[in-house]
Amino acid sequence: MFDFLKKLFASSNGNGKEGKQEQSETEKNHQQMNFLIVGLGNIGNEYAQTRHNIGFRVLDALAKASNLVFEDKRYGAVTTLKVKNQTLTLLKPSTYMNLSGNAVRYWMNEKKIPLENILVVVDDLSLPFGQLRMRPGGSEAGHNGLKHISSVLGTQQYARLRFGIGNDFPRGGQVDFVLGEFTDEDLKTMDERLELAGEMVKSFALSGIQFTMNHFNKK
């Protein structure tokens, strides 16, 4: 399906400044490090299948692929994914979306994870359904979960994986749209896009954000 490892190791053959930067970043990440992968969403069965919960859905798919089970812990559901020599703490905050920063701060401190090793998986209205974009930081684009994380961390400079949910709603219908469920058409390619999102999360930990953006953002 997505031959992640082939892409990963082929990358070190790049030429010039960009190739050297990617290779250097990849070599750096061969060191054993801890990462915090945060999927944003709201707890409760009534929210489970909504567009706003795509962050939870990405982490659920990633955990399921490795036969992992989330445990209810402080500020969220947590499990640990090993990817080669990297340790990824997968976190689904239980704070509800608007207080997500509290969970991020707690688990950053608990696991002693630096800011550059945090990745937040978030729904994005500005992208068509299924489009995936990784970014090193920037504006929250009105997303309340990101706003709270930025406020608590005191910076907007943390990595995000944006999962497009589309914006096919009438004027004033944004809330109903993001809290609505995906269409049958969306669900036809959902598993494929969730799998690609999972590969991007692994790439972030193994190869760094620059490699991941260069190799995945246009897929």
Please return the burial class of 69, using the count of CB atoms within 10 Å of its CB with bins 0-12, 13-18 and 19+.
Answer: exposed
Burial per residue of 76-115, b for 16 or more beta-carbon CB atoms within 10 angstroms, e otherwise: bbbbebebeebebbbbbbbbbbebbbbbbebbbeebebee
Is 52 among the residues known to form the active site? yes
Q: Which of 52, 143, 148, 215 is catalytic?
A: 52
Give the single-character DSSP code of 218.
Answer: T
Q: What is the rounded CA–CA span in Å between residue 45 and residue 216?
A: 32
Please report, as a single letter, which amino acid is at residue 136.
P
CA proximity to 158, closest of 166, 167, 147, 150: 150
What tokens appear for 206 in the block? 């193994």
Q: What is the CA radius of gyration of the chain?
A: 17
Q: Provide the terminal-to-terminal Cα distance of the chain, rounded to the nearest Å.
A: 13
Q: What is the rounded CA–CA span in Å between residue 139 and residue 137?
A: 7
Q: What is the rounded CA–CA span in Å between residue 53 and residue 42?
A: 6
Could you list the active site residues?
A: 52
